[in-house]
Amino acid sequence: MKFSIGRNDTVFILTGAGISAESGLSTFRDSGGLWDRYRIEDVATPEAFQKNPELVWEFYSKRRKELKDVSPNRAHLSLANFQKKHPKTYLITQNVDNLHERAGSTNVIHMHGSLTRIRCTGCNYFEEHLEDIEGIPKCKECGNILRPDVVWFGEIPYFLNQIYELLSKTKLFIGIGTSGQVYPAAAFVSIAKSFKAKTVFINKERIYNEDIDLFIEGNASIEVEKFLSEIEVL
């Protein structure tokens, strides 16, 4: 199936943990993934943070430290190159790692927040924070404890108004490395389809969704570059 897009056509790219797997970061639902090793209710909900902020900080501080040991892979780099060639490409990621930015992508929409941002539980203070964090950091403005600026289960993802606006104008939707099990991101492909977008998924494991026009089964580091290189820009 050949895909062609106009210069001014909106391309909506949704990535999930699978795009970072070949860089060495764990996914969530593959065997041995994060949710095999941790319980969501212990480390990824507001109630968990209330109950045991030390454990939650330990979980995120460990993942923050891992960022220093990994690099973007060919899938991240191919997306960054495609964005440069086709500026109307919008990169929406469920991932909290910084590999898209480190690959050269700009205006990355982190709908689930970022490991490199922390924010105050008591005031509007937030900061980009790359250094390691030990224990529970405190806000230098108001003294309250800081939290990872990551969207937990039961919280509302960021930038949804902008995302839905983009989906209504999308001509080509590409989902990469996501199991499509967590909403609202899991509904994005169907919303794009309802606005007559062409829809493509690239994933290691087959996922079944009648709104996917083309499913490419394989590793993102190979298949993303291959697919993007075959898109005809009119």
Chain residues binding ligand APR by CB under 6 A are 16-18, 21-22, 27-30, 33, 94, 112, 177-179, 181-182, 203-205, 219-220
Tabulate helix, strand, coil % of the chain (nearest 5).
35, 20, 45
CB of 28 to ligand APR, least distance (A): 3
Q: Identify the burial level of 215 via C-beta atoms within 10 angstroms of its C-beta, where 0-12 means exposed, 13-18 middle and 19 or more buried.
A: middle
Nearest residue (CB) to ligand APR, 43 versus 139 = 43
- Residues belonging to the binding site for Zn(2+) are 120, 123, 139, 142
HSE, CB side, 13 Å, CA atoms: give it for residue 169.
Answer: 12
Closest CB 217 distance from ligand APR, rounded Å: 9
Rounded to the nearest whole angstrom, what is the least distance from the CB of residue 195 to ligand APR in the complex? 22
What is the C-alpha to C-alpha distance for residues 205 and 79, in angstroms, rounded to an integer?
20
Judged by CB, which is closer to ligand APR: 114, or 179?
179
Which residues participate in catalysis according to the annotation? 112
Q: Which is nearer to ligand APR, 171 or 173 (CB)?
A: 173
84 Cβ neighbours under 8 A, 6+ residues apart: 104
Query: Measured from the CB of residue 29, what is the shortest distance to ligand APR in angstroms?
Result: 4
Spell 52-62 as b/e; 16+ CB within 10 A means b.
Answer: ebeebbbbbbe
- Nearest residue to ligand APR, using CB? 18
Indicate the residue among 8 and 31 with the shorter CB distance to ligand APR: 31
For residue 127, the surrounding DSSP H or E stretch is strand 126-128
CA-to-CA distance for 170 and 8, rounded, in angstroms? 11
